[in-house]
A = this chain, B = another copy of it.
Amino acid sequence: MQAPPFLAACRREPVPYTPVWLMRQAGRYMPEYRAVRAKLGFLELCKRPDAAAEVTVTAVDVLGVDAAIIFADILLVLEPLGARIEFAAGDGPVIHNPVASAADVDRLTPVAAGALDYVAESVRRARAGLKVPLIGFAGAPFTLASYLIEGGGSRTFLRTKRFMLDDAGAWHALMERLAVAVRDYLNMQIAAGAQAVQLFDSWVGCLGPDDYRAYVLPHMRATFRALADTGVPAIHFGTGTAALLELVREAGGDVIGLDWHVDLADAWARVGHDVAVQGNLDPVALFAPPDEIRRRVAHILERAAGRPGHVFNLGHGVLPETPLEHVGVVIDAVHELSTRS
C-alpha cells in the first residue's frame, strides 16, 4: 500500500506528483464556508465538532487538495490556561486579561483534562469523512506568548520583547507552560487521528537570531522532541524567518515551512536537504491572472527541482478576498505541472 503523497513528501519519499494543501483552505474566500459562518460565530464554529469537521472536509472536496487541516484556531489552547479571548468580527482576536508579570504567569492554570476534547472530536469526525491525511495543529509557544502578552495582534511586539528582556525567568516559565500545553494538545489531536501536525510560529520572525536562540529555540526543541516519539510528521511554520532558517531547522520539525520572501531553492539548501520543506507561493499571487499564477507555480516547482520532500503551499494563509477559481488554478497547476510520467 502506497503512502498518500502528502505523508510521503513529509518523509522525503518519492511521490507521483507534488502534494499541495493551503493554509486557511477552509476560509472566508469559500462560499461553503461563508454559508456555515452565516449561522455560527467563529468560536462557536471551532467548538462545534460537527460543523468544524464539515468545513474541514468540504474544503478538501471543493479544492481537491492532498491534505486537510482541522478547522480550529491557534488561540483555543489559551482559554483553558485562563485567557479570556474574544474573536471580534472584523478585528483580530482580543485577550481581555493579558499577561503582564511573573505573577500573571504563575496564575495560568494547567489545561484541565477534557477542556479541549471538542477539538479531538472534530478530528475524529473529520477523519471519518476524509480520503486524504488530516493535519492537526497548534500555535507555537512564542506566538502564543505574544498574543497573551500583547492582548492581541501587534506590529512591533513591544510588550512581548519587553517582557522577555525585563524578566527572562518569567519568560522561560511562560514558554515552558505553553510548550507543555502545546505538546499535550498536539498529542491529543494525534491520538484522535491527526496524521501530521503543524506548529504555527507565525510571528517569531520579529526576533533577530540571537534572541531566537536564547528565548525560543530551547522551547521549540523540547516540543519537537516530545512529538518525535509519535512517529507523526511535524511541520514547523513561521513567517519573516528568512534570517532565522538555520535556527528554525535546528529547533526541529520534519518539514520546514517557507514563506514567499525566500527563494525556495536557496532556503532549502540553507535548512538542509535532509529535511522536507513546505511552501512558498505569495498569497497575493492568487489575485494575478491564471496564466501568471501558473507561471509562478511552475517557477516554485522548478526551484524544488523534483527533489523528494516538497509539499506545495502558500507562504501564509489564503486571504479572505481571494477569488475562489484562482485557488483552483493553483491546485490544478501544482498537480499537472509536477506529475512524474
Contact = CB atoms under 8 A, between A and B. Distances in A.
Nearest to A264: B208
A191 interface: no
A321 B240 contact: no
A3 B309 CA distance: 55
Nearest to A162: B287
Given A284-B161, A285-B165, A261 B156 contact: no
Looking at A158, A208, A282, the one whose CB has the most chain B CB atoms below 10 A away is A208
A299 interface: yes
Interface in A285-309: 285, 287-289, 292, 299
Interface residues of A, number: 33
A165 B287 CA distance: 8
A292 B211 CA distance: 12
Looking at A211, A284, A288, A321, the one whose CB has the most chain B CB atoms below 10 A away is A284
A284 B243 contact: no
A91 interface: no
Contacts of A166: 287-289
Contacts of A319: 156, 158
Nearest to A205: B261
Interface in A188-216: 205, 207-211
A118 interface: no
Interface in A231-284: 240, 242-244, 260-263, 266, 282-284
A157 interface: yes
A211 B292 CA distance: 12
Looking at A162, A242, A262, the one whose CB has the most chain B CB atoms below 10 A away is A242
A321 to B, nearest CB: 7
A263 B158 CA distance: 20
Contacts of A292: 165
B260 A156 contact: no
Interface in A74-125: none
21 contacts: A156-B283, A156-B284, A156-B319, A158-B284, A158-B287, A158-B319, A158-B321, A161-B287, A162-B284, A165-B284, A165-B285, A166-B288, A166-B289, A208-B260, A208-B261, A209-B262, A210-B299, A242-B261, A243-B261, A243-B266, A244-B261
Q: Which 10 interchain pairs have the tightest Cβ spacing?
A: A242-B242, A242-B243, A165-B288, A161-B284, A243-B262, A243-B261, A208-B260, A162-B287, A209-B263, A158-B284
Interface of A: 156-158, 161-162, 165-166, 205, 207-211, 240, 242-244, 260-263, 266, 282-285, 287-289, 292, 299, 319, 321
